[in-house]
Structure 1
Amino acid sequence: MPQPILFDMDGVLLEGPGTHPQVYADAADAALDELEADPTPTQRADLRRNDLENVADHCEALGIDPARFWQLKERYASQGTHDRLRAGERGLYDDIDAIEALAERTTVGLVTNNRHETAEFVADYVGIDFEVVRGRDPTLEGYRRRKPEPDYIEEALDELGSSEGLYVGDSIKDVTAGLAAGLETAFLRRSHNRGLDRPAEATLELESLAALTDIV
């Protein structure tokens, strides 16, 4: 069987390069409410962003556990993301049916910097038979291990029992992480990255996921 193909999620399956900032803002507010914290406007603004240094400092000042705050924020962010998908506020790319076709020929997986809970939701939502799904852990350390670090890709490969394959992503950090994990890489063009130069280290440049069906 051909080598496995692993796919990034945001900008590859889901339209747009990442989670909408308002999702994180709402998630932070919900976490603060649950923890009965009363932040200043500056603290609230910082905690709405994924800035780990400020999270630790502000949580200490507010007398709340930063690990607990982060876990709650991640949970509420996943809920907000899932609601937006169900409501059609964030769409899917038209060419992801190519991944379903590829799943009939080889092993396919989903590896993303997005939250693991959301990765599992999206895999089920799109109905593709991914052999492995890996997103970031809902912890401060899990956030630090995101791409361009190769950790989550390596964990997916370990689960598949493979050390070779192809990683498909839409950003430079995807190419960097894939290479660090020992994979070939494909840089996928989308509307949000048209102005970027092709990463020199990328094995392939794709105008559509459909092009993979002619390669594999």
Structure 2
Amino acid sequence: MTETILLDMDGVVLEGPGTPQSVYDRAADTAAAELGLEPTDRQRADLRAHGYETVESACCALGADPREFWRRKEAAASRLAADRIRSGERARYEDVAALESLAERATLALVSNNRHETVRFVADHLPVPFAAARGRDPTPEGFCRRKPDPHLLRETLDELGIEAGLYVGDRETDVLAAEEVGLEAAYLRRPHNADVPLPEDAAYEIESLGELGNVLEKR
């Protein structure tokens, strides 16, 4: 039987735990300019916020449709993120190379809280044959369905037509989401989580993606 391994993206495949705030700042400024908004300094700071409620409040004060602003902000953030990856400003971890040979014995998928457009770009950009790639929808509802909500993992499992497998993540939220859908969780150590206590429900603890082959042999 072919094994299935789902992987988180930020902090697992791409270096660093997530998209830097500077990207969201520039994305919000781009969305505001596209909509012809002239926010005060305080409103601009709120538009740059990561949470939807703060953005919604600022948009309403400016007479703008918050859902349209959010859509444009997410789209701009995805474009900026892709540029950073293309230029090498944001690199992949060296051990991602191990996934190329692992794909010969396992079905691989990329599942992340990041924007779907960005996850899809990374899946296409890397020399790894991912069978599926899933990120959050560019909507307020999509933002609310981030892990530990199991929505993204469940959608990916349904797409692949499987019910069991392994999920590789670098956060407790990854472990919680995996448990919710019946996946075993492999907790990957990276510099940003080196001293974080191992989540209680993690089935495996690994130091490199290169160890996944050994994990498969134990399952």
Where does residue 135 of structure 1 map in the other structure?
135
Q: Which amino acid aligns with 1:40?
A: T
Q: Counterpart of 1:53 in structure 2: which amino acid? A: E
TM-score by length of 1: 0.98
Give the unaligned 5+ runs of structure 2.
none
Answering whether residue 91 of structure 2 is matched by residue 91 of structure 1, we say yes
Matches within 5 A, 1:3-82: 3-82=3-82
Aligned counterparts of 1:127 and 1:172: Cα–Cα separation in 2: 28
What is the alpha-carbon distance in structure 1 between the residues aligned to residue 90 and residue 106 of structure 2?
28
Cα root mean square deviation, aligned? 0.8
After superposing on structure 2, the runs of 4+ consecutive aligned residues of structure 1 that deviate more than 2 Å are: none
| SS in structure 2 at match of 1:100 | helix
Matched-pair identity in %:
54
Shift of 1:127: 2.0
The residue type paired with residue 48 of structure 1 is R
Distance apart, 1:87 and its partner CA:
1.3
Q: C-alpha offsets along residues 20-61 of structure 1, whole Å, 9 cap, x if unaligned?
A: 110000000000000001111111111112121111111111
CA contact (8 A) 2:3 2:105 kept: no
**What is the one-letter code of the residue matched to 1:159?**
E
Report the CA distance between 1:170 and its aligned residue.
Answer: 0.5
- The whole-number CA distance in structure 2 between the counterparts of 1:131 and 1:150 is 19
Residue 101 of structure 1 contacts residue 213 of structure 1 at CA under 8 Å; is this kept in 2? no
> How many correspondences in the alignment?
216
Unaligned runs of 5+ in 1: none
AA aligned to 2:39 is P
Match of 1:4, SS state, is strand
1:107-154 CA distances to partner (integer Å, 9 max, x unpaired)?
Answer: 110000001101111011112111111010011100000001000000
Shift of 1:200: 0.9
Q: Does the CA contact (< 8 Å) of 1:170 and 1:193 recur in 2? A: yes
Q: Which amino acid aligns with 2:155?
A: E
Which residue of 2 is the match for residue 169 of structure 1? 169
Pairwise CA distance, 1:181? 1.3
| Deviation, structure 1 residue 2 | 3.2
Deviates more, 1:44-53 or 1:15-24: 44-53
